[in-house]
Structure 1
């Protein structure tokens, strides 16, 4: 197949576009795998407000709303820490805004595409905060069943990997 200058320019732009996305985005399966493997220096951040965090959040995440990031991140995390940020879901740009803040602070960061919505829909562990009548907090399992439209169903107790 002959490559025209237009096609060559398109292919170069496409490679740069997709390489750029992969450099700054990760999916929920890869984020979960990084946490499960205990990858050193990886921190999963839920950027939503307290009410959303309490309702349910990815197990292993920390709650760090965007307004608190400029003060807390340099004070609490060593240089070289790698962050994965998420917000509600694909219709929200809170994680994108958080990624900008964190990168401006000088840290490596990726956005978890799909956000909490797809984390929960794929059946990954979810915690929720519960308060009793006295205001005491506890954390309970809030994991949702796997949504067959977003994640392959488990077979014989093992999760099928889509091999994306």
Structure 2
């Protein structure tokens, strides 16, 4: 057994550096509970964007989410988006980078974005409902209680 801590071996950030880094991380990401809370409350400035293919969207998506595959995003195709909204991009989950691509493309075009941690996978793991079909649907009622 080593006398040196494996945790401390790579160095430690100061509390101030940790706080700054984590504040930055929170600016770029949101989780399923926070998104669901906003969707249940019907905050009009928060829009969920499903960045997967339209076929994947139809098999199941976050209720209220708009289907907008990241591969179709460019200056012309995003002209209809409201620049005063916050777009939360998601894909299948941590093994998919569609939400990263969607967030990146929208940010480059001047939109305010956040990426959903864990995508649809983590949404479902939190026991949140999924809509099926081409219609966006919506979340009604419900109260989010996060275990964190």
Q: Does 1:62 align with 2:46?
A: no
Q: CA deviation at 1:80?
A: 1.2
Task: Write the distance in 2 (CA, Å) between the matches of 1:101 and 1:117.
Answer: 22
User: Which of these two proteins has the greater Rg computed from alpha carbons?
Assistant: 1
Provide TM-score, normalisation by structure 1: 0.71
Counterpart residue number, 1:125: 129
The answer for unaligned runs of 5 or more in structure 1 is 1-5, 130-137, 142-157
Q: How does 1:143-162 map to 2 (within 5 A)?
A: 161-162=145-146
Task: Write the distance in 2 (CA, Å) between the matches of 1:160 and 1:107.
Answer: 27
Counterpart residue number, 1:135: none
Q: CA RMSD in A?
A: 2.3
Task: Write the distance in 1 (CA, Å) between the matches of 2:77 and 2:85.
Answer: 13
Provide TM-score, normalisation by structure 2: 0.78
Q: CA deviation at 1:160?
A: 7.1
Counterpart residue number, 1:99: 103
2:29–2:116 contact (8 Å) kept in structure 1: yes
Q: Does 1:44 align with 2:28?
A: no
Q: Does 1:72 align with 2:77?
A: yes
Task: Write the distance in 2 (CA, Å) between the matches of 1:107 and 1:11.
Answer: 32
From the two aligned structures, give the one with the greater strand fraction: 1
Q: How many residues align?
A: 132
The answer for unaligned runs of 5 or more in structure 2 is 1-10
> Larger relative contact order (C-alpha < 8 A, sep ≥ 6)?
2
